[in-house]
Chains A and B, each alone.
Chain A
C-alpha cells in the first residue's frame, strides 16, 4: 500500500519532528523503526543522478505528509570541461512537505508533489573560481512516485542560496552562483523503501 495515500486521515496531524531527528541520528541503521501502518518511520535509501553530480541519499518519512531528505553527492561541475580534475563534495538536508497526492494506474502506486526548504554545505567549485567551502540555505520542489514494489522514483529541482569561500593567496567570500545557475538541472533519484 502506498505510504502517502494511506495517510489521508492524518492530514490534520503535525509532523513528528522529534521522531524524524531520532531517525536521522540512526542514519547508518536503515531498518524499520516503526510498525505503524501509515508508513511513518519508513526509510528510503537510494542514489542521486543529475548533470550536477551523483551520490546517495536517505529519506525519512513522517506522518505521510512529508519526508526529511539527507543527501551526499559528488559535484562534477568543471570535470568535463577540464576546469577541475577532482569532483567537489556536498551535503544537503531538505525538509520536504507533500503538497498534493494522487494515485497512479490501479491505485496501488502514488505520486506526491512536494517542496521544502533546507540547508547545504560542501567543498565545491563555483563557475571559474577554484574549489572552496560553500554553505547556505537550499530549496527544492518536485514529484515523487512510490510503487508497491517498495521502489520510489523522484524527479526534482534544487536551488541553493549560499556563500562560497575561496582560500588561496587571499580569502574571498562571494555568492555561490552555481547554486542558482544550476537550479534548472533536474535531479533523478531512485530509492528502495525499508519498512
Chain B
C-alpha cells in the first residue's frame, strides 16, 4: 500500500564501487630550458576505488528529498578525497514507497590530511536507483550514477622527462575525470 511521505529528517549510509574510466588534463608549464609546454590529453583507463558516504537530509515533499553527503572516495589515482555535497532526489512513487528514483548531486571534495595538494575540487553526480522499503521508514536503495570531478593538481609530471614540475613554473593545471559509481544505501 502506498504511503504518503511525511516531512521528516532522514539519515543513512551509502557504499559502493567507483570506476573512473576517463581522465582528461590540460597542463601548461615552463621547462628548465625556458620552453613552454602545452600538454593536453584524454586517457581512457580504469581507476577503481571504493565509495563510502553518510548522509543527513529531509523529505521536503512527497516525492522529493534533499540531503547532505560526506564520506570518502577517490577521483583518480593518488587523489583520495572527502566529498561534501548536496543531493536532491526525486522518487517517482513517493519517498517511502518502492520505486525508481533519480538524483543530482554536486559539491566540493577536500583532500585527506597530509596530501600534497591541499586544493579542493569540484565533484558532481547524476544517477538513478531503486528504493525498497524494508520496515517503516527503513529502506534499501540500489543506485547507479555518473560522476564528474574537476581538479587543479599542483603536482604534475613533465610529459617528456617524467620529472615533477615545480609549482612556480606551472601556468595552467586542469584535470577532470568521469566515472561510474554504483552501490547500495541504507536510509532511515
List chain A positions with a Cβ less than 8 A from chain B. 47, 49, 79-80, 104-105, 109, 145, 147-149, 151, 153, 190
Q: 20 A–B contact pairs at CB < 8 A?
A: A47-B184, A49-B184, A80-B49, A80-B50, A104-B135, A105-B136, A109-B135, A145-B135, A147-B134, A147-B138, A148-B135, A149-B133, A149-B134, A149-B135, A151-B134, A151-B140, A153-B134, A153-B186, A190-B184, A190-B186
A83 CB to closest chain B CB (Å) equals: 14
B117 CB to closest chain A CB (Å) equals: 19
The reply to whether B15 and A49 contact each other, CB–CB distance below 8 Å, is yes
Could you say which residues of chain B place their CB within 8 Å of the CB of A105?
135-136
Question: DSSP class of B's interface residues: helix, strand, loop or mixed?
Answer: strand
Give me the 8 closest cross-chain CB pairs, A-B, nearest first: A147-B135, A151-B134, A147-B134, A149-B134, A109-B135, A190-B140, A49-B15, A149-B135
A167 CB to closest chain B CB (Å) equals: 27
Could you say which residues of chain A place their CB within 8 Å of the CB of B48?
79
The residue on A at minimum CB distance from B183 is A49
Could you say which residues of chain B place their CB within 8 Å of the CB of A190?
140, 184, 186
Interface size class of chain B, counting residues whose CB lies under 8 Å from the partner chain: 10 to 19
Could you say which residues of chain A place their CB within 8 Å of the CB of B49?
80
The residue on A at minimum CB distance from B48 is A79
Could you say which residues of chain A place their CB within 8 Å of the CB of B138?
147
A170 CB to closest chain B CB (Å) equals: 32
Could you say which residues of chain A place their CB within 8 Å of the CB of B134?
147, 149, 151, 153
A102 CB to closest chain B CB (Å) equals: 15
Task: State A1–B100 Cα separation when bound (angstroms).
Answer: 28
Could you say which residues of chain A place their CB within 8 Å of the CB of B133?
149
Could you say which residues of chain B place their CB within 8 Å of the CB of A79?
48
B186 CB to closest chain A CB (Å) equals: 8
List residues 137-188 of chain B with CB under 8 A from any CB of chain A. Answer: 138, 140, 184, 186
Could you say which residues of chain A place their CB within 8 Å of the CB of B136?
105
The residue on A at minimum CB distance from B16 is A49
Task: State A149–B15 Cα separation when bound (angstroms).
Answer: 23
Kindly list 8 other residue pairs between chains A and B, CB separation below 8 angstroms, not including A79-B48, A147-B138, A190-B184. A80-B49, A109-B135, A145-B135, A147-B134, A149-B133, A149-B135, A151-B132, A151-B134
A124 CB to closest chain B CB (Å) equals: 18
Task: State A47–B16 Cα separation when bound (angstroms).
Answer: 13
The residue on B at minimum CB distance from A82 is B77
Task: State A145–B188 Cα separation when bound (angstroms).
Answer: 14
Could you say which residues of chain B place their CB within 8 Å of the CB of A149?
133-135
Could you say which residues of chain B place their CB within 8 Å of the CB of A80?
49-50
The residue on B at minimum CB distance from A148 is B135
The 0/1 profile, CB within 8 Å of A marked 1, for residues 92-136 of chain B is 000000000000000000000000000000000000000011111
